[in-house]
Amino acid sequence: MFPPDFAWGAATSAYQIEGGWQADGRGPTIWDTFCHEKGRVFGDQSGDVACSSYELWEKDLACIQQLGLTHYRLSFSWTRLLPDGTTQHINQRGVQYYNKVIDDLLACNVSPMVTLYHFDLPQALQDQGGWVSPGIATHFDNYAKFCFQTFGDRVKLWITINEPQVCAKLGHEDGIHAPGLKEKGTTAYLVGHSMLLAHATAWHSYNSEYRAKQRGAVSLALNSDWFEPLDPGRGEDVAAAERELTFTLGWFAWPVFVTGDYPETMRSAIETRSKELGYGGAPRLPTFSKSDPTVLGTADFFALNYYTSRKVRPEDVSGQTLSMRSDQWAEDVLDPSWPISGVPWLAVFPHGLRKLLNYIKDAFNDPAVYITENGFAQVGPLQVEDRQRCEFYRSTISEVAKAVQEDGVDVRGYFAWSLLDNFEWADGFSVRFGLFHVDFSDAELTRTAYRSGREYASIISKYKSAQS
Ligand code: GAL
């Protein structure tokens, strides 16, 4: 069903699992600050301890082996390596930790895929203005080069930045992620721009300084739902669905994979709205200048995080003030035939992934694709026998197989989110995405496979035996 060397993975991120927030010289991040402010996160919880993977890495490794993964996607904590975000001060204990993780994985025949930035900006850099400060691309590039230099002999798959759209929008427009800003309709576009430039700078560094020797591949992970018109026969709905796809995925994928610039429909929608509201400042969507690094072509593969699908129709925004939402004027409607997982935003529609994969093939020049995240949330009392999630994984993976076999999409790998139940950002520990249950009430933080973990292991094992 899947090509040879298909990557079977699971994913995590540093802040969500590591804990040890002050251990061995780790510096503070914007998520430490955010969680320690009252009222930001469900139950005022934080990633101070989380799954304690900094202490209990061997337990995670045992889970990885139990699943039979070929790949494991983790992220580095920038401040565990560089406590103030700069290469002025390198924390050798952090280097030792990630060296051990990487070496242990390789010793078990598991290839690491490493994300450099998964939402956890060093607080010291936030204090200088964060993602909109002029020096941020250089700081990120220095951090990336340090990682390529230190770990690139063994890490061959790199993600620079995870979900720039989420960082920009949830962190700077909606204020529900760190750093908690609500600067509607302005800052998110600047943050997205900075992230694209930071990514491109790091990709060029890899390309010119490390690629020949290390022979790895570098990309950025883009999140998108699949958006389709509420009424496919209605032109306005079709246009609204396209607008939303453009504002979510096209915002980053278009510059990187197609033209080196933002989609024209996005720019014109934003400009039109600025005029309607008499907004007189500089264009809210920045322009790329000649002195910027080239963004076009700075991805060696397409890394997609997919969770859900939406039906879309135009939204009447006439009474609304400046915001990204009113720039898009598209309204999401959940299809009642799609079952809801544990969280209201995650409607289960595996076929949407196949459609999105086909869209990516057509719109972005048939790239090699890794599905770097996909998963199903559970809430409430523990259900180790999580049959609904088993069904979710079976049908999603079968949609991926169809995209590969019947539609010719070049999918190279699939990473389930997540290896373990973990700190789910603003939802704290109330939402569980793990293939392994973590008992957060027990000092040992015991990991126990869900039925879906065993199911995923059996899918992987069938694949492996068909290959041999
Ligand atoms: C993604 C994010 C992950 C995880 C997941 C589930 O947006 O990259 O860290 O939280 O969503 O909500």
pLDDT in tens, 33-66: 999 999 999 999 999 999 999 999 999 999 999 9
**Whole-angstrom distance, CA of residue 394 vs CA of residue 400:** 10
The percent helix, strand, coil of the chain (3-state, each to 5) is: 45, 15, 40
What pLDDT sits at residue 380?
A: 77
Which residues are identified as catalytic?
A: 163, 373
In 3D space, the residue among 204, 242, 199, 251 whose CA is nearest the CA of residue 223 turns out to be 251
What pLDDT sits at residue 32?
A: 99
Q: How confident is the model at residue 323 (pLDDT cuts 50, 70, 90)?
A: very high
Q: In this model, does residue 331 exceed pLDDT 80?
A: yes
How far are the Cα atoms of 231, 266, 337, 353 from residue 357, in angstroms, in the given order?
A: 22, 21, 22, 6
Q: In this model, does residue 274 exceed pLDDT 90?
A: yes
Task: Yes or no: say if 309 and 228 are a contact pair by the CB < 8 Å rule.
Answer: yes
Which of ligand 1's atoms lies nearest the C-alpha of 425?
Answer: 10
Ligand 1, from 341, 425, 435: best to mutate by most atoms within 8 Å of Cβ? 425
CA of 311 to the centre of ligand 1 (A): 21
Q: Beta-carbon neighbour count of residue 118 at 10 Å?
A: 24
Q: How confident is the model at residue 113 (pLDDT cuts 50, 70, 90)?
A: very high
Mean pLDDT of the chain: 97
Q: In this model, does residue 211 exceed pLDDT 80?
A: yes
The predicted model gives 253-272 an average pLDDT of 98
Asked if the peptide bond before residue 179 counts as cis, ω within 30 degrees of 0, the response is: yes
Cβ contacts of 100-108, under 8 Å, gap ≥ 24: 100/57, 101/57, 101/74, 102/151, 102/154, 102/155, 103/154, 104/57, 104/58, 104/61, 105/61, 105/64, 105/72, 106/154, 108/61, 108/64, 108/65
How far are the Cα atoms of 144, 182, 302 from residue 196, in angstroms, in the given order?
A: 14, 21, 15
**Whole-angstrom distance, CA of residue 96 vs CA of residue 74:** 16
Q: In this model, does residue 382 exceed pLDDT 80?
A: no
Q: In this model, does residue 161 exceed pLDDT 90?
A: yes
Q: In this model, does residue 203 exceed pLDDT 90?
A: yes
**Whole-angstrom distance, CA of residue 127 vs CA of residue 133:** 10
**Whole-angstrom distance, CA of residue 105 vs CA of residue 96:** 14
The pocket around ligand 1, CB under 6 angstroms, is made up of 13, 16, 162-163, 166, 223, 305, 373, 417, 424-425, 433
**Whole-angstrom distance, CA of residue 285 vs CA of residue 321:** 17
Structure tokens at 54: 């900094």
CA of 341 to the centre of ligand 1 (A): 15
What pLDDT sits at residue 332?
A: 96
The predicted model gives 135-145 an average pLDDT of 98
The predicted model gives 381-408 an average pLDDT of 94
What pLDDT sits at residue 465?
A: 96
Domains of the chain: 7-467 (3.20.20.80)
CA of 374 to the centre of ligand 1 (A): 9
Torsional sign, CA 15, 18, 22, 26: negative
Instruction: Judge residue 315's burial from the number of C-beta atoms within 10 Å of its C-beta, 0-12 exposed, 13-18 middle, 19 or more buried.
Output: middle
Strand arrangement of the beta sheet that strand 309-314 belongs to? 226-229, 309-314, 330-333
What pLDDT sits at residue 138?
A: 98
Ligand 1, from 162, 304, 346, 417: best to mutate by most atoms within 8 Å of Cβ? 417
Q: How confident is the model at residue 141 (pLDDT cuts 50, 70, 90)?
A: very high
Q: Which residue puts its alpha carbon closest to atom 10 of ligand 1?
A: 424
Helix, strand, or coil (residue 442): coil
CA of 74 to the centre of ligand 1 (A): 12
Length of the chain: 468
What pLDDT sits at residue 383?
A: 76
CA of 11 to the centre of ligand 1 (A): 10
Q: How confident is the model at residue 1 (pLDDT cuts 50, 70, 90)?
A: confident
**Whole-angstrom distance, CA of residue 81 vs CA of residue 87:** 9
* Residue whose tokens read 């079952």: 339
Residue 380 or residue 220, greater confidence: 220
The predicted model gives 156-180 an average pLDDT of 99
Lowest mean pLDDT segment, chosen from 109-118, 170-179, 302-311, 373-382: 373-382
